[in-house]
Amino acid sequence: MSTPPRHEQPQDAPRRPVTLTKLAEMRALGEPIVMVTAYDHPSAKAVEAAGVDIVLVGDSAANNVLGYTDTVPVTVDELLMLTAAVRRGLRTPLLVGDLPFGSYEASDEQAIQTAHRFVKEAGCDAVKLEGSPERARAIVRAGVPVMGHVGLTPQTATALGGYRAQGRTAQRALDVTRDALDLQDAGCFSIVFEAIPAAVADAIMERMEVPVIGIGAGASTDGQVLVFHDLLGIYDGHSPRFAKRFASVKEEMVAGVRAYAEEVRAGTFPAAEHTYSIDPDELERYRATLVPPAGIAWGPGEEM
């Protein structure tokens, strides 16, 4: 299908790119950090225009754009393709690529190789992984910044008893605390806290020295992250407790496509303003070169 080339529109006062140093400064100054997922070029352009600080191409692309039921099946190659598309739509936010399940757990060598692919092939500024402080340390030493992830870790949700809040007992709260501190000690520049009680997050925050991004972890974290499709209401049905809907995009999408279908079926689209013209003399010359269809004669003045 034909569409015109896409060109960047100049901005009057472009923001400066967000760096790890900038994020640390924001934390020190108490400036909230805004993070959101994006999975393709159009969503990247949208979050760029909205002025977010961090963009995560999450493994949640698996069930948000690729049709999988959960995040486990998504492959490195699939995420690299999506991340490269996001990269082409961003100028300002820090771009973080999610290392999918099975791409880093086996060894330090595997983890480093995967992280390097996200930097070299997709243009990531950093990568994110769930748990695994030893793998995080190896990747950091190999020159790639790492964002950690504790609490509800979707890649291992089955082992955690399903998609449910973590840290709701004293022991599990202590486990989450240790996980966070271990990732911090491993050199992570930032850590995501997902689906843990706000009071537990408050207590852990007193021990954190790097920016913490919360998703269902209360308001005391240094920033917040939501999934693009959740915050825009692109899907119907159940959504996590922490996923506030800021728009109802799916309703608008369906309404737009339905209106288009109705006009096509009614014969009102395309109208004259949607078509191209040709000079009458050129049309006459064109028709003069055609052979009439079998059994049909041209009108007066239209014979060859």
Distance CA 39, CA 148 (A): 20
Q: Do 149 and 129 meet the contact criterion of CB atoms below 8 Å apart?
A: yes
Q: Which residues are catalytic?
A: 194
Alpha helices (H) along the chain? 20-29, 41-50, 61-64, 76-87, 108-120, 133-141, 170-185, 198-205, 228-232, 249-266, 280-288
The H or E element that residue 34 is part of is: strand 33-37
DSSP classification of residue 275: S
Question: Phi, psi (5° rounding) for residue 287?
Answer: -65, -30
**Mind giving me the DSSP string for 212-223?**
EEEESS-S-SSE
